[in-house]
Structure 1
């Protein structure tokens, strides 16, 4: 009996200690580890769906993005400085070969896939800087302890450069540039290309105008409560309401990218990208080719057009007057030289 009681007591104490440890583990903040995708290694190939803008969508889009991130992290050394200038084409082609074997991707999307890989590679280097240099990782002293593809010597080299004055100055300039983004989105990693179909499918208001201004404000609205998180974004949304009223009344007629969004933001569209759409989508993709480009398409006011027209008119008159004068002088000289009468 005593032995039984002692044994039972020991088990009780053991379980109590285990419960205490378990509770401590549960209260300790958990951190996200590296994406491994072990379950995906023996599956596939997967057939991706693509939207009209040339971005992956559908059920495999998120897994595809994660797979691209994993591959580029494993295969491209963190000490390359620039994706476009330093990473060799042979290495990029190897990436493309691996990714297109796992996910059935048409050759026409190769450039888009590699651009995406470059962005994920840069993001990964930024993550290493934030978690292991600027801050102390709660679990690992070095990413070489966490990622098998990072050698300790490569990490020390990376760390030395990221702590240098040269990189700090470069980082400072980048931070200043980011400050110009007054209206950051809250879409997370999925972005417009995956969010837009969801927004359209969930829209229950048949009178709602679905255009790029609608996409833009959706991308900056918290999906959990539908509220706009920032006063500046709220101000833009209020402007949109007013401009849509003007469109409805006929007071304002949108023309290509001179529309509700550009008027509400009070900013002209930049070449090479279109607000309210995924990165890489161009003005031509969204608005098509302008037939007979007007002065409004290139951002010239009516007053500027009038001034240019007047200047060209005056220059033309001066040129013609000078030409006529020279020809008259030449004719007069010929008449005098040959003793002819002028008519």
Structure 2
């Protein structure tokens, strides 16, 4: 946080050029890039804040430059200003971006990133979403309606009324994420413990009254209890993804375009790839590597015909059974009950039923094969018997014919001996 000097002029070093500015008539380059919401009322409020929080300083105030790790005094260094999305700023008056959604209500397609940036920008704008609320559920209906109208000015949907719920769910997630990042950047990472230190380390684009509200909220016993509980729950997370702000829905859509189909195993393998050499938690990285190797091994065994397990079964075998609520490796939009059609507590029972059915089908198929083989053997024996019968009948007929011929010759010889000529 930079505080104004009581001297008439101050200097800002930007690219070896010195800009001399009068604090009463001009603004610093950093302030010119802000929201431009400061007015005389805010200045009076800031003056009251200085008296209440910072107290009366005996000497001239010194310009303070806050860095991520160090706090140095002196001239304010050049820092990065606000980020502007060119796809939004380049839109013609009345032009909108068409946002596509998947079946679960998650944004996908060409303008998914632009839409998410714009929605996050509206969440950060205190004229749209006031800062002084404890949580998303505390926003009034008028505030949410105003946010929806702002979204409709830039974004176009296939069915706006149907997509409003999905947009508000996304906005809720962005709201919670912004609160978390503010606390991490300005409270947790600098390791500020006292209230005065936390109040003084205020973001440049936030009013002091708003920042005071957030600090007091975060320091309240109720919030601390909730925060500690959530922190304890996050400590059990062993397989963080490495896709950054890219949603699982967009990852899933990219895989479908490449392969035609996409399972949760495909999403897990895609989102756990390390593309950067930046340091990470070694234990989590080793755990990721080990589990991914196990999954790839199971998939290879399936291709070789060792087993017939589907991807969901492989996932549960390697990572353990599914738990209540959250559906692993899927992202927002669907829970366990919606995916499997049953409650989480009945998943194991359903798996047993499926396994029994599969075993029964295998036994029935084996029995049918054995019956077919038995029938074939009986048919072969029948054919052999018929062939033997025909052969025996042929031999009998041949024997009878031979005997008849023999007795015929004997009779002729006997008749000749008596001088009788046999008649034919």
- Is the TM-score greater than 0.5? yes
List runs of 5+ in structure 2 lacking aligned partners.
1-12, 19-75, 193-199, 357-424
Which deviates further from its counterpart, 158-167 or 99-108? 158-167
Matching of residues 239-278 of structure 1 within 5 Å: 239-254=294-309, 258-268=312-322, 270-271=324-325, 273-278=326-331
Q: Any idea what SS the aligned residue of 1:230 has?
A: helix
Question: Aligned residue for 2:110?
Answer: 59
Q: Post-superposition shift, 1:234?
A: 1.4
Q: Assess, with a 3 A threshold, how the Cα gap between structure 1 residues 133 and 258 changes in structure 2: closer, same or farther.
A: closer
TM superposition score normalised by structure 2: 0.53
Is 1:281 equivalent to 2:334 in the alignment?
yes
Out of 206, 212, 215, the residue aligned to residue 264 of structure 2 is 212
Is 1:40 equivalent to 2:88 in the alignment?
yes
Matching of residues 63-212 of structure 1 within 5 Å: 63-74=114-125, 75-84=128-137, 86-105=138-157, 106=159, 107-135=161-189, 141-143=201-203, 145-146=204-205, 150-199=206-255, 210-212=262-264
Which deviates further from its counterpart, 257-266 or 32-41? 32-41
Q: Assess, with a 3 A threshold, how the Cα gap between structure 1 residues 125 and 21 changes in structure 2: closer, same or farther.
A: same
Q: Post-superposition shift, 1:170?
A: 2.7
Q: Is the 8 A contact 1:161 1:167 kept in 2?
A: yes
Structure 1 runs of 4+ aligned residues shifted over 6 Å read none
Q: Post-superposition shift, 1:141?
A: 4.4
Residue deviations 1:287-322 (CA, integer Å, cap 9, x gap): 6x58xxxx76645758xx9xxxxxxxxxxxxxxxxx
Q: Assess, with a 3 A threshold, how the Cα gap between structure 1 residues 46 and 258 changes in structure 2: closer, same or farther.
A: closer
Q: Post-superposition shift, 1:127?
A: 1.9
Q: Is the 8 A contact 1:36 1:70 kept in 2?
A: no
Q: Assess, with a 3 A threshold, how the Cα gap between structure 1 residues 210 and 70 changes in structure 2: closer, same or farther.
A: closer
Q: Distance in 2 between matches of 1:219 and 1:130?
A: 24
Q: Distance in 1 between matches of 2:150 and 2:173?
A: 18
Please give the root-mean-square deviation of Cα atoms over the aligned residues, in Å: 3.7
Q: Distance in 1 between matches of 2:156 and 2:14?
A: 48
Question: Aligned residue for 2:46?
Answer: none
Residue deviations 1:140-191 (CA, integer Å, cap 9, x gap): 9422x32xxx432121121122234443333222211111111011111112
Q: Assess, with a 3 A threshold, how the Cα gap between structure 1 residues 296 and 88 changes in structure 2: closer, same or farther.
A: closer
Q: Assess, with a 3 A threshold, how the Cα gap between structure 1 residues 281 and 78 changes in structure 2: closer, same or farther.
A: same
Q: Is the 8 A contact 2:120 2:171 kept in 1?
A: yes
Question: Aligned residue for 2:409?
Answer: none
Q: Is the 8 A contact 1:269 1:275 kept in 2?
A: no
Q: Assess, with a 3 A threshold, how the Cα gap between structure 1 residues 61 and 264 changes in structure 2: closer, same or farther.
A: same
Q: Distance in 1 between matches of 2:87 and 2:99?
A: 18
Q: Assess, with a 3 A threshold, how the Cα gap between structure 1 residues 285 and 215 changes in structure 2: closer, same or farther.
A: same
Q: Distance in 2 between matches of 1:19 and 1:99?
A: 38
Q: Post-superposition shift, 1:232?
A: 0.7
TM superposition score normalised by structure 1: 0.64
Q: Is the 8 A contact 1:78 1:125 kept in 2?
A: no
Question: Aligned residue for 2:100?
Answer: 49
